[in-house]
């Protein structure tokens, strides 16, 4: 590049273009400057990325797996400064920033983020440190498994999952920003590599496993420039509560939430002189009371201590923290009154004192000067007494409010809140007049749960994006919905009538519906399912269970192409399942306890997760298509009239082969995005019969692997392939016509907790392998044709007699029937291979016959020959005389 074409964005290089004839000193200075720039590698006249940096980045690319081609632009055909995620200095074109965070969008049904497209594998942190000018490194939210920190000289690798040792021959890094957070599978056993990063200002390691690093606090305090430290949910254990001082010199933000410290608040935290502004220690199992040394942190703006075990009262001196903006004390064990001094916190925008054990009265004096308050969470059980002046107008305008209160009326000041977006009311009793429903129509997210509300929904129009009105005792018919509504939860109320008012009134929809979630279960609704589903194509979850609905499933439900969860249980529905439902993408199909007939549908999607058809009138055989549902982990077809054999191909259901709930690509949670916010709305649940009990599985549903085929007409033997379902937790084949022996392979099912084979025609002995099932806590083998003794010396004796009753030839503890065993001398001899020998029985017969023949021959000879007989009796007389003589001498 010619000198006169230097861009104006490099003003200091204009010295090189000045007229040097007027100033020879300027010419000399320009030459010296350019020489120094060349020496420093910063006078790069071709404006191209350094070859060294290019090669370093290519070596990084070579060492990681890139399934979605994130690094596809990284090639020698393009300047490295133009590669994705790479930024260079505008002067010297050296790499200064590397940002490759993985962006993930959660689908509506997901248990974990899908990171199949993210960078994964192992990479070398030392390799990236060869980028001499790198000051920013962001690899967050990827799926790295390990990091290597190796010497740039001898290329010896030290895997962080094993150990890291500081190496003196490594040059110190210029890195100021390091973010490895949300690599959930990454384990780092040592943080000693931080010794090589003295310029670090921002360190983000949240959700990285650091449980092996016991000296984390001592290491991070050696970083003199560190101003923001986030190590939340890292499985740290030691907070050093007794340590008086920690050498943080520049720290402003500290986030250690989600670590289980099980200690009091540390003393060193309140002795910092670095002007700490933000502290987040939520969900850390902290105990004790708030120390008054908290006042030492005069610059404190955010204090997050939610979900711990802190106790005592909130002290009055808390009102002296003038700069406090966020105070999060919810989810603890604080008691007593909420102090009125809280009202002095004029800078407060976020106040959370919910879910504690407070008592007493709350009034306007608790909020006197809170003119900036936006978020208020103040609910408890039992609820606090609200004693607000009915004419009081708060100095604040809230955006989010969560509360519970004691009294028949809502606080009057609630209606003064014009900008409120989120309203939550729990555990309260109040009247809901039309004025209230008009007010909440402006609220974006409305959650009124577990209240006692005196209200009728018959003529109400719901307009909030999210509406959760479950468990309130609401009456009347179903309300109407506007096109704004995305989520409706009206379960467990006293609503009656048909579902038509909600589904078939389209006047307010304007031809568009955003509804994704509908739950109107546990009410008194009646009538049919209507045919108005065509206007609700966005639905993902539908729960109409536990009502009095009748009729058939309408064919029109097949238009719900996004439907992933359908619950129609505990109604009076009948007929066959319509094939039109195959147009849906159903993952959870629950129609238990109805009157459905016909065969088990063979069109259910291969991606199905839970299939619950119990207590209907389904007949026919179990379709082989079930074996193609590799993700199925709940198969409940009990209490029908299904016949035929158990398919041998059930071993193809891979979700039941391995109990891997933590990585199961299924969600019991529906996520809905609105207003640029993501939140998890609900937990999927199913009622399952496990261990002889009807149990509700919600949060723990993903951990249950179950097959229940009981109370049918199944025949034949149990296919041995079935016992390769190693992840199965509960297996119930009772009340069928199954025959044959219980295979010894049952011992392979190590995760089995409940086993019921009762009321069948099984024969043979109980296999010894059954005793290997160490998690088995419920066993029922009653009313079969089992024989022999119950395997002894195992937990099988720990079950009651009821587990084995009805097997007349079964014996041994815990049964009272004693097993009689032949002594060893009466047992048949066996050959070398352990089989019974054919020689030994004939040998015994011959030996006994010879003895009898010899005895009879001698006896007859004595009896017939007189001389022999006389001699024989004479010898007996002599023997008697000698015996008497011997006895007389004693």
Given 3.40.50.300, 3.40.640.10, 3.40.50.1220, 3.80.10.10, which CATH number is that of 587-824? 3.80.10.10
Bridging pattern class, strands 64-65 and 120-124: antiparallel
Best-predicted range by mean pLDDT (344-353, 499-508, 697-706): 344-353
Judge whether residue 793 has pLDDT over 80. Answer: no
Q: 144 vs 109, 141, 180, 798, CA distance in Å?
A: 24, 9, 9, 46
Place of tokens 């003003």: 11
How far, in Å, CA of 23 to CA of 32, rounded? 15
Q: Sheet holding 309-312: strands in order across?
A: 287-288, 309-312, 333-336, 357-358
Of 229-238, 477-486, 591-600, 854-863, give the lowest mean pLDDT range: 854-863
pLDDT digits (tens, 9 = 90+) for 449-472: 999 999 999 989 999 999 999 999
**What does pLDDT average to over the chain?**
85
**The predicted structure's pLDDT at residue 274:** 85
Which residues have C-beta within 8 Å of that of residue 442, sequence separation ≥ 6? 420, 463
Bridging pattern class, strands 487-489 and 517-519: parallel
How far, in Å, CA of 416 to CA of 766, rounded? 73
Answer yes or no: pTM beyond 0.75: yes
Closest CA to 543 of 561, 570, 562: 570
Which residues have C-beta within 8 Å of that of residue 722, sequence separation ≥ 6? 646, 648, 650, 651
Partners of 288 in the β-ladder: 310
pLDDT digits (tens, 9 = 90+) for 759-777: 999 999 999 999 888 899 9
One DSSP character per residue, 45-114 reads TT----HHHHHHHHHHHHHEE-TT-TTTT-STTS-GGGSTTEEE-TTT--EEEEE-PPP----SB-SS--
How far, in Å, CA of 642 to CA of 736, rounded? 10
Closest CA to 155 of 126, 176, 198: 126
Percent above pLDDT 70 for the chain = 80
Q: Return the axis-axis angle of helices 866-888 and 839-864, rounded to nearest 10°.
A: 100
pLDDT digits (tens, 9 = 90+) for 576-604: 999 999 999 899 999 999 999 999 999 88
User: Which residue did the predictor score with more confidence, 301 or 26?
Assistant: 301
Q: Where in the chain is the domain with CATH 3.80.10.10?
A: 48-104+114-201, 587-824
Judge whether residue 705 has pLDDT over 90. Answer: yes
Judge whether residue 858 has pLDDT over 80. Answer: no
Biggest CA-to-CA distance, the chain = 167
- CA quadruple 876, 877, 882, 887: dihedral positive or negative? positive
Which residues have C-beta within 8 Å of that of residue 694, sequence separation ≥ 6? 687, 688
Looking at domain 48-104+114-201, its CATH superfamily turns out to be: Ribonuclease Inhibitor (3.80.10.10)
pLDDT digits (tens, 9 = 90+) for 365-392: 999 999 999 999 998 888 999 999 999 9
Closest CA to 206 of 161, 257, 158: 257
Q: Sheet holding 120-124: strands in order across?
A: 64-65, 120-124, 143-148
Closest CA to 369 of 352, 389, 347, 386: 347
Bridging pattern class, strands 686-690 and 693-697: antiparallel
SS3 state at 578 = coil
Note the helical H segments in 229-280: none
Closest CA to 70 of 102, 22, 115: 102
Residues 666-689: b if buried by 16+ CB within 10 A, e if exposed: bbbbbbbeeeeeeeebbebbbbbb
Bridging pattern class, strands 95-99 and 86-88: antiparallel
Closest CA to 784 of 693, 718, 725, 727: 718
């Amino acid at each position: 590049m010619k000198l006169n074409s230097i861009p104006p964005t490099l003003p200091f290089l204009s010295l090189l273009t000045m007229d040097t004839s007027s100033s020879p000193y300027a010419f000399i200075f320009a030459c010296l400057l350019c020489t120094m720039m060349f020496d420093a590698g910063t006078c790069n006249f071709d404006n191209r990325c350094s070859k060294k940096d290019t090669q370093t980045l290519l070596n990084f690319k070579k060492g990681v797996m890139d399934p979605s081609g994130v690094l596809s632009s990284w090639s020698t055909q393009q300047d490295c400064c133009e590669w994705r995620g790479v930024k260079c200095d505008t002067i010297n074109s050296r790499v200064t920033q590397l940002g490759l965070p993985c962006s993930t969008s959660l689908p509506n049904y997901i248990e974990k983020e899908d990171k199949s497209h993210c960078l994964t594998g192992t990479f070398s942190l030392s390799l990236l440190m060869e980028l001499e000018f790198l000051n920013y490194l962001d690899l967050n939210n990827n799926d790295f498994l390990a990091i290597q920190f190796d010497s740039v000289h001898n290329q010896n690798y030290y895997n962080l999952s094993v150990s890291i040792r500081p190496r003196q021959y490594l040059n110190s890094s210029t890195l100021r920003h390091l973010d490895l957070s949300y690599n959930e599978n990454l384990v780092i056993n040592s943080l000693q590599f931080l010794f090589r990063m003295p310029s670090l200002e921002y360190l983000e390691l949240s959700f990285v496993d650091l449980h092996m690093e016991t000296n984390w606090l001592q290491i991070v305090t050696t970083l003199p420039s560190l101003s923001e430290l986030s190590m939340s949910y890292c499985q740290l254990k030691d907070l050093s509560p007794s340590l008086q001082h920690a050498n943080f010199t520049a720290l402003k933000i500290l986030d250690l939430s989600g670590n289980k410290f099980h200690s009091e608040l540390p003393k060193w935290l309140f002795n910092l002189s670095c002007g700490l502004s933000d502290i987040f220690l939520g969900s850390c199992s902290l105990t004790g009371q708030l120390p008054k040394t908290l006042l030492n942190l005069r610059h404190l703006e955010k204090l997050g201590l939610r979900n711990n075990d802190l106790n005592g009262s909130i002290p009055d001196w808390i009102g002296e923290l003038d700069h406090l903006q966020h105070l999060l004390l919810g989810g603890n064990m604080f008691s007593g009154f909420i102090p009125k001094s809280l009202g002095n916190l004029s800078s407060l925008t976020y106040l959370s004192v919910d879910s504690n054990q407070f008592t007493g009265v709350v009034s306007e004096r608790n909020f006197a000067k809170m003119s900036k308050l936006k978020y208020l969470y103040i609910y408890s059980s039992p609820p606090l007494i609200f004693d607000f002046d009915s004419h009081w107008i708060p100095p604040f305008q809230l955006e989010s409010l969560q509360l519970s209160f004691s009294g028949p009326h809502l606080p009057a000041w609630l209606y003064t809140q014009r900008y409120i977006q989120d309203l939550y009311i729990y555990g309260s009793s109040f009247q809901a007049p039309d004025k209230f429903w008009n007010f909440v129509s402006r609220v974006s997210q409305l959650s009124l749960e577990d209240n006692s509300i005196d209200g009728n929904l018959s003529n109400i129009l719901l307009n909030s994006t999210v509406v959760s009105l479950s468990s309130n005792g609401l009456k009347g018919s179903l309300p109407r919905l506007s096109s704004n509504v995305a989520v409706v939860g009206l379960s467990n109320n006293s609503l009656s009538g048909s579902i038509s008012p909600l589904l078939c009134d389209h006047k307010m929809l304007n031809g568009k519906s955003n509804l994704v979630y509908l739950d109107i279960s546990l009410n008194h609704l009646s009538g049919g399912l209507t045919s108005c589903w065509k206007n609700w194509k966005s639905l993902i979850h539908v729960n109409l269970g536990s009502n009095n609905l009748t009729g058939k499933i309408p064919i029109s439900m097949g238009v719900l192409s996004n439907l992933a969860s359908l619950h129609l249980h505990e109604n009076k529905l009948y007929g066959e399942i319509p094939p039109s439902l195959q147009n849906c993408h159903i993952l959870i199909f629950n129609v238990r306890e109805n009157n459905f007939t016909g065969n088990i549908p063979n069109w259910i999607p291969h991606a199905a997760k839970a299939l619950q058809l119990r207590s209907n009138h389904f007949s026919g055989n179990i379709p082989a298509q079930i074996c193609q549902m590799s993700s199925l982990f709940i198969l409940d077809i009990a209490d029908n009239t299904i016949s035929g054999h158990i398919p041998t191909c059930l071993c193809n259901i891979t979700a039941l082969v391995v109990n891997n709930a933590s990585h199961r690509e299924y969600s019991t949670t529906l996520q809905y995005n609105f207003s640029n916010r993501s939140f998890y709305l609900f937990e999927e649940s199913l009622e399952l019969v496990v261990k002889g009990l009807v149990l509700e599985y919600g949060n723990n549903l993903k951990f249950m692997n179950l097959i229940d085929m009981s109370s049918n007409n199944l025949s034949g033997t149990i296919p041995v392939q079935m016992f390769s379902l190693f992840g199965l937790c509960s297996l119930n084949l009772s009340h069928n016509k199954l025959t044959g022996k219980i295979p010894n392979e049952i011992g392979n099912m190590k995760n089995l907790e409940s086993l019921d084979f009762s009321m069948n025609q099984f024969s043979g002995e109980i296999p010894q392998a059954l005793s290997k099932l160490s998690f088995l806590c419920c066993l029922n083998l009653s009313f079969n044709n089992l024989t022999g003794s119950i395997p002894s010396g195992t937990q099988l004796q720990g079950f009651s007699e009821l587990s084995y009753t009805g097997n007349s030839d079964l014996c041994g503890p815990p049964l009272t029937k004693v097993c009689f065993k032949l002594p060893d001398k009466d047992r048949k001899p066996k050959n070398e291979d352990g089989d019974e020998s054919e020689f030994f029985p004939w040998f015994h017969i011959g030996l006994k016959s010879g003895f009898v023949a010899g005895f009879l021959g001698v006896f007859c000879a004595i009896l017939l020959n007189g001389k022999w007989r006389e001699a024989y009796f004479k010898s007996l007389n002599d023997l008697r005389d000698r015996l008497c003589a011997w006895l007389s001498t004693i």
